[in-house]
Structure formats: structure tokens, C-alpha cells
Amino acid sequence: MKSTTPVVLITGAAHRLGAHTARHLHQRGWNLVIHYRSRESDANSLCDELNDIRRESAVAIQADLASAGQTGSLANKAVSAWGRLDGLVNNASVFYPNPTTEATADDWATIMDTNLRAPFFLGQACLPALQESRGAIVNLIDIYSQRPLADHPLYCASKSGLASLTLSWAKDLAPEVRVNGVSPGAILWPEGDAAMDDNHQRSILAKTPLARTGTPEDVAGAVAFFLCDAPFVTGQILAVDGGRSLNM
């Protein structure tokens, strides 16, 4: 039986911004489809947390978005969970430096497949359900889509492409589906191979008019605005960056 509660699929929702967005939307009354690639334990823990608050309100689904054959399966499982889909948040992303002289075909495939190809084909697969519910898509972009970060040409190109896709979809999928984007600035510092040293972090904050990092709730609130509170808004990309894009 189809649920009367709205349902959102969030990619890369097991940790960081995706997990914060999941918790925020859950508080707003949504059921959650938590996508993960390799963080099974984190995804299941988040599901348990949300289901303890409200029974049968969250499920976790694994998929490798870099694999062309798995986006359709993810969409089908997401819709089947409660018989409907009202929102898609394309949050999953790959970020690491790859200077032009060192970038490989594997780098191209990894970054473009995850950051651009997967949102397109996942959106395509989810489209019938979103059209039926007159739902919405929110793409997580990046302020570097407008003014690129040095030594990240593939990442910046992928996010620029996602920004363009957001605007194209807003035109093409109307009036049934609204499509908007959120472009975070300094919210959570990158981890792993993409980690920035203290000097780099300070240089970013020096160019940020609000002179601090934002919080994950700032981004989660922006996503919730587009999904829940903006029925007459489509084709917009909101920078959540403390004013950083003024000084890039």
C-alpha cells in the first residue's frame, strides 16, 4: 500500500552532509531512503537511529553510482520501499585533486561518473515516480562550479556540468518536477587525500565575509527549503558559503 508520508532518496547519505540532511528531513516528517556505497555500518546505524524515533521511516540501500547498471536498480528499490518517491537529493560526490598533467582516464571516469553521470541517470530513473508525486530534485553542487579550484579540473568540470543540468532539468521537467541546487562553501573540511592544511583553511576563511565555516545544518536547511517550503521555486542554485563566492 502506498504511504501517505513523503519519501526522499538521498545519495551518499551515510555520513557527513548527507547524514545531516537525512536527519533534518526526517524531523520534517519525511521517510528516508539512505543510499550508501561502502559505508554499510554507518548507513545501518543511521537507519536504526531514525527508526527508533519513528518506526519504519528509514531504509538503507547499497549501490555503486559509478556503475552504469546500478542507478536504475537503486531507483526501483527506492520507489518500492513505500510505493512512492517525492524527492531526490543528489548528494554523493567524489572530491580529490588531479592536476591536468597527472590526471588519468580512470580519474575522469571516477569523478565524472559519480558527480555527473549518476545524478543524470538516477534522476531519469526516478522521473516517473517524481512526476506522479509532483516532487522535486535537489542537486548538491559546489561554489567551485563557478570559479574553479586550482588543480581540481575534473571535479570542477563535473560540478559545473551538474549546475547546468540543474537549470536544464528545471526547464525540461516542469511543471511536474521542480529542480534546484545547493552550492556549499566551507562547511566540513575535506578528508583523506583531499584534506587541506591549516594554512589553506585559514586562507579560505580570510576570503569568507562571515569569517567562519558554516554548519551541516545550514546545508540541510537549504535542501529542506527547496523540498518543503518552495513550491513556486525552480531553476535556482543557492550558495551556502558565508559570502565566499563574493571574494573568490
Q: Which residues are catalytic?
A: 155
Measured CA distances, 136 to 61, 93, 104, 174 (Å)? 20, 19, 35, 10
The amino acid sitting at 108 is W
DSSP 36-102: ESS-HHHHHHHHHHHHHHSTT-EEEEE--TTSTTHHHHHHHHHHHHHT---EEEE---------TTT
* φ, ψ at 48 (rounded to 5°): -60, -45
